[in-house]
Chains A and B, each alone.
Chain A
Amino acid sequence: MDQNPGIGLVQQAAAMSASSAYISDDLAAALFPKSDIMLSDRMLSNGRQYLQAIVQEIETEICMIAAEDFGVTHDMIIEIGNSNRGHSFPLLQNAGLLETKALLEHIFTSVQRAELGSRLLQKISQADLESVLTRHLDNEEGAIADAAMALLVAQSRDNAGPGSIHAHIGNLSAEILFALAWPITAAVQKLSGYDGPNLHKATEKLLGRHDEGAATQSRAQRLAQLVDQMDSGENQLHPLHDGLDLFLARLAKRSGLSVDQLILFTAEPNMMRFVLTMRAVDLQTDVALSIFGVLEGSGQLLTPASYNEIEGDKATELVSKWSSNTLYQDAQRQLNINLPGFSD
Chain B
Amino acid sequence: MPVTGNLAEPVRGQLDGDGRLVSADPPLLRLHLHSGGFEGGPLAVPQLSNLCRLSRQLDMNLSRPVQAADDDNLINMWVEIRLQSGDQEGNIAISIIDWKETPAPSTQSETLGRQRDFDRLNGRGSIRTDASLRIMALSLPGDLDAVEKYVGQSLLDVIDFVAPSKQTVLIESVSERQPVRGQHVRQKHGKKSYYDLSGQPLIDNEGLFSGYRFSLELDQDRKEQEKDDETGLGLGKGELISDSLFGSQLGPALRQPLGKIIANAETIGSRLEGPLRGDYSDYAKDIASAGRHLMDLVNDLSDLEAIQRTSFSVAADDIDLVDLAHRAAGLLAVKAADHQIRIDLPDKDKEMPVKGEFRRVLQILVNLIGNAIRYSPDGSVIKLQVTQEGEFSQLIVRDQGDGIAEDDQQRIFEKFERLGRSGDGGSGLGLFISRRLANAMDGSLTVESAVGKGSAFKLSLPSRAV
Q: Which residues of A contact B (CB under 8 A)?
A: 141-143, 174-175, 177-178, 204, 207-208, 210-213, 218, 221-222, 225-226, 229, 253, 309, 311, 317-318, 320-321, 324, 344
User: Smallest CB–CB gap between B58 and chain A, Å?
Assistant: 5
Report B194-224 CB contacts with A as 1/0, cut-off 8 Å: 0000000001011100000000000000000
User: Known interface pairs A208-B60, A208-B83, A213-B63. Does A324 touch B206 (Cβ–Cβ under 8 Å)?
Assistant: yes
Report the minimum CB–CB distance from B272 to chain A (whole Å). Answer: 9
Contact A222 B98 (CB under 8 A): yes
Taking CB atoms, residues of chain B closer than 8 Å to A229 are 2, 76, 100, 102
User: Which residues of chain B in 51-68 are interfacial with respect to chain A, using CB atoms and an 8 Å cutoff?
Assistant: 54-55, 58-65
Chain B positions within 8 Å of A, measured between CB atoms, are: 2, 7-8, 54-55, 58-65, 76, 78, 80, 83, 85, 97-98, 100, 102, 203, 205-207, 270-271, 275
Q: Is there contact, CB below 8 Å, between B271 and A207?
A: no
For A178, the chain B residues whose CB sits under 8 A away are 58, 60
Known: A212-B60, A212-B62. 15 other contacts (CB 8 A): A143-B98, A174-B58, A204-B59, A207-B59, A208-B59, A210-B61, A213-B80, A221-B64, A221-B65, A225-B76, A225-B100, A226-B98, A317-B207, A318-B207, A324-B206
Shortest A182–chain B CB gap in Å is 10
Write the nearest CB–CB distance from A332 to chain B, whole angstroms.
9
User: Least Cβ distance of B47 to chain A in Å?
Assistant: 13
A residues near B270, Cβ cutoff 8 Å: 311
Whether B62 pairs with A321 at a CB distance below 8 angstroms is no
Contacts of B203 in A (CB 8 A): 317
Q: Which residues of B contact A221 (CB under 8 A)?
A: 64-65
Complex contacts, B205 vs chain A, CB 8 Å: 320-321, 324
Q: Assess A218 versus B63: contact at CB under 8 Å? Given A141-B7, A225-B78.
A: yes
Q: List B contacts of A204 (CB < 8 A).
A: 59
Chain A, Cβ-Cβ closest to B77: A225
Q: Is the interface of A mostly helix, strand, loop or mixed?
A: helix
The residue from A225, A311, A344 contacting B65, defined by CB atoms under 8 A apart: A225
Chain A's closest residue to B79 (CB) is A213
Decide: B78 and A222 in contact? CB cutoff 8 A.
yes
Bound-state CA distance A221–B78 (Å) is 9
Q: For residue B60, which residues in chain A have a CB less than 8 angstroms away from its CB? A: 174, 177-178, 207-208, 210, 212
Q: How far is the CA of A311 from the CA of B55 in the complex (A)?
A: 41
In the bound complex, how far is the Cα of B7 from the Cα of A222, in angstroms?
13
Of B62, B78, B97, B207, the residue contacting A320 (CB under 8 A) is: B207
Closest beta carbon of chain A to B378's beta carbon, Å: 21
Q: Is the CB of B8 within 8 A of A142?
A: yes
7 A-B Cβ contacts within 8 A?
A218-B64, A221-B64, A222-B78, A311-B271, A320-B206, A321-B207, A324-B205
Closest B residue to A219 by CB, please name it: B63
Q: B8: which A residues are within 8 A, CB to CB? A: 142
Residues of B within 8 A of A177 (CB): 60
- B61 in complex: contacting residue of A141, A175, A208, A320, CB < 8 Å: A208
In the bound complex, what is the Cα–Cα distance between A211 and B63 (angstroms)? 7
Structural contact, B65 and A174, CB atoms closer than 8 A: no
Q: In the bound complex, how far is the Cα of B58 from the Cα of A21, in angstroms?
A: 36
Min Cβ gap A229→B in Å is 5
**Which residues of A have CB within 8 Å of B59?**
204, 207-208
Residue of B nearest to A252 (CB): B65
* Complex Cα–Cα for A222 and B96 (A): 12
Q: Which residues of B contact A142 (CB under 8 A)?
A: 7-8
List chain A residues, Cβ under 8 A from B207: 317-318, 320-321, 344
Chain B contacts of A211 at CB under 8 A?
A: 61, 63
Residues from chain B with a CB closer than 8 A to the CB of A222 are 65, 78, 98
A175 to B59, CA, bound (A): 10
CA distance A229 to B78 in the complex (A): 13
Report how far A294 CA is from B335 CA in the complex, Å. Answer: 39
CA distance A253 to B102 in the complex (A): 14
Q: Which residues of chain B are within 8 angstroms of A320 by Cβ–Cβ distance?
A: 205-207
Q: Which residue of B lies closest to A309 (CB)?
A: B275
Would you give the shortest CB distance from B202 to chain A, in whole angstroms? 12
Determine how close the nearest CB of chain B comes to the CB of A282; give it in whole angstroms.
13
Nearest residue (CB) in B for A328 is B206
C-alpha spacing A64/B55, complex, angstroms? 25
Task: Give B449 Cβ to nearest chain A Cβ, in Å.
Answer: 39
Nearest CB on A from B363, distance (A): 30
Question: 7 closest Cβ contacts across the A-B interface?
Answer: A213-B63, A321-B207, A143-B7, A174-B60, A178-B58, A207-B60, A317-B207
Distance of B334 from chain A, by nearest CB (Å): 15
Expressed in whole angstroms, the minimum distance between the Cβ of B27 and any Cβ of chain A is 16
Nearest residue (CB) in A for B83 is A208
Closest to B8 in A: A142
Task: Say which residue of A174, A226, A253, A311 sits within 8 Å of B62 (CB atoms).
Answer: A174
| Residues of chain B with a CB closer than 8 A to A174's CB | 54-55, 58, 60-62
CA distance A222 to B80 in the complex (A): 12
Residue of B nearest to A230 (CB): B2
A83 CA to B242 CA in the complex, in Å? 104
Name the B residues within 8 Å of A226 (CB-CB). 98
Is A321 in contact with B206, judged by CB distance below 8 angstroms? Answer: yes
- B98 — which chain A residues lie within 8 A by C-beta? 143, 222, 225-226
Q: Shortest CB–CB separation between residue B447 and chain A, in angstroms?
A: 41
Please give, as numbers and ranges, the residues of chain B lying within 8 Å of A141 by CB-CB distance: 7
CA distance A148 to B271 in the complex (A): 44
Contacts of A207 in B (CB 8 A): 58-60
How far is B5's CA from A143's CA once the two chains are assembled, in angstroms?
11
Complex Cα gap A207–B206 (Å):
37
Closest-CB distance, B191 to chain A (whole angstroms): 38
Q: Which residue of A lies closest to B278 (CB)?
A: A308
Which A residues are in CB contact (< 8 Å) with B2?
A: 229
Q: Which residue of B lies closest to A213 (CB)?
A: B63
Which residue from chain B places its CB closest to the CB of A179 in the assembled complex?
B58
